[in-house]
Amino acid sequence: MMDRAQLADFLRRRREVLQPEDVGLRRGSRRRTAGLRREEVAALCDMSVDYYSRLEQSRGPQPSEQMLAAIARGLRLTIDERDHLFRLAGHTAPARAVRGDHVAPGLMRVLDRLADTPAQVMTELGETLAQTPPARALFGDETRHEGFMRSVGYRWFVDPSVRDVYPREDHDMHSRSFTADIRTVYAKHGARSRAGAIVEALLAESPEFAEIWEAHEVRQTHPREKRLQHPEVGVMQLQCQILIDPEQGQTLLVLTANPGTESYDRLQLLSVIGTQHLTAEH
């Protein structure tokens, strides 16, 4: 059963403990609120202020597991605190399997400090768990997907719009790289794993994937330097840096450009666009 009173108390106390600096926000001179404001937490959780406020006031509906996962990330909860949150909301705590969807608070703190840079936390299957505003401006909201569509490798072969962010002449290279990524995870976890289910689905749905898969190419590493494009800023030559969290099996992907280049100027413009999009949403 959902314990509304305890859930509200827990959310309020976790919000009051968090400071603006903990989530990459600036502390204004007129701030009187202990911790974060409700609207700030709601923005971090990608939900409306009204919905979050009702939860804190013990009058909200029972949150879904997806909503609870978003709250856990937004409030930078530890995995123990996440489990407690799920139980208070009347759900069974998610299994503590390695390579889960919960992003460690330390990795989220790093992401918070990259607010003006395209960066995102991803699972080994290319499922995006958290994004900065510039990453969302570049790739779109990749956290909204469900099922197999959560994996960028799966989307690459079934949704043509995913390829729009890469110049056409690079598509073949990325097709082979995404296939090799999926093969690596498939070899690690076996045919009965989630990777195995994605492979089975793609073999049935994508002749291109089936042809590349049959070639059995092993780990064609993604280039550290990538060309990406955006309809408002054009093509950018970007460097791809990766930070790995071995405990969760997650990666923090960061895209940068060499200062003084045209790509650097375009990336700066993208950061402004990302901020504008976030402001419009919240």
**Residue 230: predicted pLDDT:** 94
- Domains and their CATH numbers in the chain: 4-88 (1.10.260.40), 105-281 (3.30.450)
Place of tokens 């840096």: 241
Place of tokens 């089936």: 210
- Label residue 276 by pLDDT band (50, 70, 90): low
**Residue 221: predicted pLDDT:** 60
Quote the CA–CA distance of 25 and 40 in Å, as a whole number. Answer: 9
Examine the pLDDT at 152 and tell me if it is beyond 90: yes
Q: Tokens standing for 154?
A: 């799966």
Per-residue pLDDT, averaged over 53-61, amounts to 91
Place of tokens 């911790």: 35
pTM metric for this prediction = 0.69
Query: Among 152-156, 229-233, 242-246, whose mean pLDDT is lowest?
Result: 242-246
Examine the pLDDT at 258 and tell me if it is beyond 70: yes
Quote the CA–CA distance of 208 and 212 in Å, as a whole number. Answer: 6
Q: Encode pLDDT of 35-55 as tens digits.
A: 898 999 999 998 999 999 999
**Residue 223: predicted pLDDT:** 67
